[in-house]
Amino acid sequence: MFDRWFGSVTEVVAAAAAAAVVIYLGYEINRRQKKLRDLFYLLGPDSAEMAEHLEELARRGVIRPYRAPAAIVEPASA
* 77 inside domain: no
> How much is the pLDDT for 50?
86
What is the chain's pLDDT, residue by residue, as a tens digit (78 residues)?
Answer: 556 666 788 888 999 999 999 999 999 999 999 988 887 777 677 777 888 898 899 899 998 877 777 766 666 665
* 69 inside domain: no
Q: How many domains does the chain have?
A: 1
* 49 inside domain: yes
Q: What is the CA radius of gyration of the chain?
A: 30
For residue 6, what are the domain limits?
A: 2-60
CA 11 to chain centre: 37
* 24 inside domain: yes
CA dist list (Å): 16 to 3, 46, 68, 75: 20, 45, 60, 76
CA dist list (Å): 43 to 49, 50, 54, 72: 9, 10, 14, 34
